[in-house]
Amino acid sequence: MWIWLLLLPLLKAFPTTALFEQCNHQVKLQSGQKLLINSPYYPALYPVGTSCRYAVEAPKDQVLQFKCELQLQTLSTDSKCRTEVFHFNSEGDEVLTSSEYFCGSGKFERKSFLNRAVISYISNGLSEPPSTVKLKDKLSAGTTMSTTTEALQGVSIEEQDEEDDEGEQEDSENSEEPEEDLSDEVLHVLQDVGVSDALAYVASLLYNDEESRKSSTTIYLEALPIRSSSKTSVKRARIVSSYPLAPSPSPGPGGGRFTCLVEAFQPTCSCGWSRLPRIASPTNEEAFLHEFPPMAGVLTKKHGKVFCGAAIIHHHYMLSAAHCFLGPETSSAAKLRVVVGEHDLASSFETFATRRYDLDALILHEDFSQANGHPKNDIALLRTRTAIVWSRHVGPACLPLQQAEDGRKLPLAGHQVVAAGWGTTSYGGPQTHRLLKATLDVIDGQRCRQTLISAGGVPPPPHTFCTYTPGRDTCQYDSGGALYERINGRLVAVGIVSFGQGCATQQPSVNTRVASFIKWIRSKSPEVAYCPGRI
């Protein structure tokens, strides 16, 4: 938090939005559409000392593909990319948080993380940057260039008349240039810039603060030949920038140009994203902040206390345990809400991702039953009244739609799963206020059965699996939370915490096997197309 406080005076003195006051575009694409975004005056160089931002949005649950070519006239003596810099933000953050920074010339391809992305440039264009310069004053006189552009349906960059086709064919026949290779071989970028680095970078551009960027290394795109022409630019794309035509670029340092081909499309699979922990702990430990984007807590409106967990699987649906909703205060959707993007329940300072959603439906399995504390068909779906908004920190878990190679349902004995929740840290003990996680071992069904019977208990019900790891376990108020298996880097909700004898005892815990209820989940949410194909 101290980083934000340190930079707050700088941002108030010259907020990031002021950089793009004269050239700030909101662009909306429809599914399958393509659009060329060109820098001002393209193919001439944009004016030295200007800045532009383009926030691009695709339809919900789609992503954006960017293919960009940059020719930034970065000075050879500019080791910190002061003169010309290009930003790409895959998460649609308009204040450059976690952006990638580019300078020099080259090509690159990038995809948005979700359905929004932002590209922008900032130009100083001088070997010795001026002190405290208002960049908007360096723009040519005119009206503010803040616009919202929606791509017209049916308009594609491939559409052109026959005369243009012939002209382009002639040009291509006379050209000996090789085909475009939009690969990363010529690309060097400064990746994963954190919040403090991104804001400090902007502050240093504005205030000539060399110290704020000492931790960053300057990396350039390799030089490439300039191959664009005004003819192909105008006929093959809708130009977002609406600057008047400019004469040929004047000689001297600074300036640059770029062109980005952007396309909106439906991704094959979008679920289960998460932060990967660096070190696996042998004991229960606090989860990393936003390590589990599907994690949700279920609470009553009356008391506001999390009493069970849930796992997001869709914009409107969550998985939980049916036994969580048997009491008079928890049996009605109207009395409940869920919290997502949360970490510390005791903190009055919520995370930026924390949101609360009311429920409009509580769907328990029709064959759910509970005798002597041993539930059967212990699964429920929670439906939110409004759509849950995805972000890097909030998103759906994948479902185990595919069986293992031998036809068995996940998880298999010998696998490890990870549980997370705000449950108690011991049986009858206090409830944790910070999200904890535990890595648990899936044990053989026969071993689980024998252990429970020999201890005077009953065998596990059908469609369940057991976990047992000495010293580690789920506990009270963890019920309903998912047990995740990481498959190809994605979080797959393979289980739901159901019941056990105490916490971290010598007996295994029993969990609902989600793979056994895929048909039921689909039947109760027929409007949803869950992530297809093998993850």
Decide which of 406 and 493 is more confident: 493
| Tokens 């001002």 belong to residue | 40
Position 17 confidence tier, pLDDT thresholds 50, 70, 90: low
Please give the residue that has the higher pLDDT: either 76 or 281.
76
Evaluate if residue 237 carries a pLDDT over 70. Answer: no
List the structure tokens of 40: 């001002």
Top-confidence range, 136-145, 178-187, 238-247: 238-247
Can 479 be counted among the known catalytic residues?
yes
User: Which pLDDT belongs to residue 270?
Assistant: 86
Task: Report the pLDDT value the prediction gives residue 176, as an integer from 0 to 100.
Answer: 41
Please tell me the predicted confidence (pLDDT) of residue 469.
95
Position of tokens 């532009």? 52
How many whole angstroms separate alpha carbon 396 and alpha carbon 393? Answer: 10
Contact yes or no for 362/308 (Cβ under 8 A): no
User: Per the residue annotation, which of 314, 323, 374, 393 is the catalytic one?
Assistant: 323
Please give the DSSP secondary-structure letter assigned to residue 469: B
Q: Is the pLDDT of residue 517 over 80?
A: yes
| pLDDT interval class at 314 (50, 70, 90) | very high
What tokens were used for 169? 């064919």
Q: With bands split at pLDDT 50, 70 and 90, how would you rate the model's confidence at 336?
A: very high
Plot region of 418 (φ>0 → left; ψ -120 to 50 → alpha; else → beta): beta
**Percent of the chain beyond pLDDT 90?**
53
Query: What percent of the chain has a predicted confidence (pLDDT) above 70?
Result: 69
pLDDT tier for residue 535 given thresholds of 50, 70 and 90: low
User: Which of 110-124, 318-332, 505-519, 520-534 has the weakest average pLDDT?
Assistant: 520-534
Q: Are 208 and 131 in contact (CB under 8 A)?
A: yes
What's the whole-number mean pLDDT along residues 119-130?
Answer: 68
How confident is the model at residue 283, as a pLDDT? 52
Average pLDDT over the chain reads 76
Residues 417-459: tens digit of each pLDDT:
999 999 998 988 899 999 999 999 999 999 999 999 998 888 9
**Residue 498 clears pLDDT 50, i.e. is over it:** yes
What pLDDT was estimated at residue 214?
A: 33
Separation CA 472–CA 384 (nearest Å): 32
Among candidate residues 320, 479, 498, 509, the one labeled active-site is 479
Region of poorest pLDDT, from 139-148, 253-262, 282-291, 378-387: 139-148
323 is catalytic: yes
Question: Has residue 340 got a pLDDT over 80?
Answer: yes
CB 145 within 8 A of CB 98: no
- Residue-wise pLDDT for 19-47, tens only, equals 777 789 999 999 999 999 999 999 999 98
Nearest CA to 468 among 431, 511, 512?
A: 511
Q: What string of H, E and C letters represents the secondary structure of 170-183?
A: HHHHCCCCCCCCCC
CB distance 84 to 256 below 8 Å? yes
> What was the pLDDT predicted at 256?
92
Pick the range with the lowest mean pLDDT from 277-281, 464-468, 518-522.
277-281
| pLDDT surpassing 70 at residue 492 | yes
Q: What average pLDDT does this structure show over 322-326?
A: 97
In contact, 496 and 379? CB cutoff 8 Å = yes
Residues 6+ away with beta carbon under 8 Å from 201: 96, 101, 193, 212, 213, 216
Structure confidence at residue 126 (pLDDT): 56
The active-site residue, picked from 78, 93, 197, 378, is 378
Pairwise CA distance, residues 128 & 444, whole Å: 69
Question: What local confidence, expressed as pLDDT, does residue 18 receive?
Answer: 65
Tell me how many degrees the CA angle 251-172-154 measures, rounded to the nearest 5: 95
The least confident of 184-193, 310-319, 451-460 is 184-193
Range in 182-191, 206-215, 261-270 the model is least confident about: 182-191
Lowest mean pLDDT among 116-130, 445-459, 519-533: 116-130
How many Å apart are CA 470 and CA 483, to the nearest integer?
A: 17
pLDDT at 502: 87
Q: What is the pTM of this model?
A: 0.73
Q: What is the pLDDT of residue 268?
A: 83
Residue 7: pLDDT over 50: no
